[in-house]
Structure 1
């Protein structure tokens, strides 16, 4: 620990960990993030392996009762060796949190249930991953809304207007507004993601454009009850070839204890608690 303190001494006067009164997070330096990723420079294996790693990371969060709530290309770091890391947990929260704020997730990756204030669960992250997956392939934002109202319009113009049962849990005001919008039929995933935009694939491989489209089609589903969950997505043929039990299940971690967020300690108490 004091080796870290010596490193940080470049910026601070403290000589040892005992002298510190601030918290410093020292994290692994990544080579870049997925906003700089271009599928044209990679093959189907890279694309599939990237999605597998993202799904594994989110799976670990969800098993611990944590929702990331801000998954987007710039919050996914990568190394030149193709390893992926989830970044920026500033908006993350416990799934059982008493207050699930509505204005979370960067707009273009925000799930319908968050946009409409209908309450949300962990699979709001799956919607975001589907948007990221699509963007890695096309290099274009799947739902490029200019504001939260336009965001909904952009969504239904692609995946289609949901059936009336979806509106049942919404407020009368929201329901009335949504019913006033034009009806949109869903676009075919083949037209959105034609074979020609994918990297080549090997014959008899599961890493095909058809399998990639199939996985994408199960992720940005408006009704969260019909949306694929992370574990099932990991078992999808497009990513399952990478499956390793120790990576998917990982070491057991206890559910996140959100009571720690409400505890007020002085600096010395925190230091004794976590540095002892």
Structure 2
């Protein structure tokens, strides 16, 4: 028996609001709460960064304003004051609100030309946000042009336009984000077999970006969406529902608001906290390998049902890494600009503190999380991705040929 996806969500505690897709056939929606999460794309952490969805409060009211830089159709924060039935570009009719954040609001529309349902992200009418919106459009146009056959699992932009000074981006509709599905499924982890199929799609998509000199910079379960998240309910002998079983694991990578080309300026702080690579925290500079680290964290979250680094503090984050992955190499600590993290060539960390006690009790070396020896290839891949030194960290091109994916390649061989 199938069931429709939820139309609602809420934001993670401590995270700056970012938009996500959600809905039966797909849509954007608010994020769901997860404790102790902090995103790196916050103006408070790096005033030079121009995030896709910077931290701010949401006002769903329809206050009109004539403040400079905003039209009379915008509320006091620069969001479009729209209504159900509004037609934009003489084509896209608003039928419902799907979600909202500080950067944009997202509505479900009927495309009057095709009669299809689409998601339209309506960016705030302020210069900073317009620039970020147009940057995202440029990245999406590049992706669409490089993958005109829709071979790789990246979200498709259908159209973009301006309405009353607002940049509006039209997307295909997708299903729930992986995080939202986990949340609705009581954070039950995925099986290793499911992870294999999902990881292969994600790796191919992000490898495609890397080959074209683009780094996503914000890979996390919220930014990976199922194409269709319809599911069947599984019951136990007492007819109690135990879990939701997805009918399809097809997915797509979304949110290119902070994607960065190799030739562009690399802001010092990127990625959402739980998925932030050590070189970013240590301010050593970063490249495409920061996406590999993020995906290592994502795969562990699929496996555990919860984040492997539950923290919002940088030094505590590094201490958690050391507990799971071993000591941070001394040559990285020597080079860091964050020398207050270092003492006598090691991480400056009080293991006897309450936080140190928590880490000691609740975290363990990576291989200790492994349930049985059949998962050895999976954990070998994880260890290669969660490598401190970017020069030793596996690339996604290499990862796609890792033995973990051998069963998929064997299935595709002709009989």
Q: TM-score when scaled to structure 1? A: 0.71
Cα distance in 2, alignment partners of residues 101 and 18 from structure 1: 28
Mapping of 1:67-216 within 5 angstroms? 67-78=215-226, 79-80=228-229, 81-98=248-265, 100-171=266-337, 173-174=339-340, 176-177=342-343, 179=346, 180-181=348-349, 188-195=365-372, 208-216=374-382
Mapped partners of 1:181, 1:167: distance in 2: 13
Q: SS of the residue aligned with 2:168?
A: coil
Question: Corresponding residue for 2:193?
Answer: 45
Q: State the partner residue of 1:205.
A: none
- CA-to-aligned-CA distance 1:135-159 (integer Å, 9 cap, x gap): 1011121111222222111111211
1:60: which partner in 2?
A: 208
Change over 3 Å in CA distance of 1:56–1:172 after alignment to 2: closer
Look up the SS of the partner of 1:46 in the other structure. helix
Q: Matches of 1:222 and 1:238 in 2, distance apart?
A: 21
Assess, with a 3 A threshold, how the Cα gap between structure 1 residues 150 and 42 changes in structure 2: closer, same or farther: closer
Which stretch of structure 1 is more off in the superposition, 81-90 or 118-127? 81-90
Question: How far apart, CA to CA, are the structure 2 residues paired with 1:104 and 1:41?
Answer: 27
SS at match of 1:85: strand
* Cα distance per residue 1:169-188 (max 9 Å; x no partner): 32383574462336999954
Q: Aligned partners of 2:342, 2:163: CA distance in 1, in Å?
A: 56
The structure showing larger relative contact order (alpha-carbon pairs under 8 Å, at least 6 residues apart) is 1
Distance in 2 (CA, whole Å) between partners of 1:18 and 1:140 is: 38
Which has the larger strand fraction? 2
Deviation of 1:57 (Å): 0.8
3-state DSSP of counterpart to 1:218: helix
Give the secondary structure class of the aligned counterpart of 1:128: helix
1:33 aligned partner: 177
- How many pairs are equivalent? 228
Mapped contact 1:234–1:240 kept (Cα < 8 A): no
State the match for 1:8 in structure 2. 92
| Distance change (3 Å), C-alpha of 1:20 and 1:138 | closer
**Using the alignment, how far apart are the partners of 1:136 and 1:19 within structure 2?**
38
Match in the other structure for 1:265? none
| 2:402 equivalent in structure 1 | 236
Q: CA separation in 1, counterparts of 2:319 and 2:376?
A: 27
Give 5+ residue unaligned stretches, structure 1: 197-207, 245-276
- Rounded to whole Å, the distance in 2 between the matches of 1:167 and 1:75 is 31
Which ranges of 4 or more aligned residues in structure 1 deviate by more than 6 Å?
Answer: 15-19, 182-186
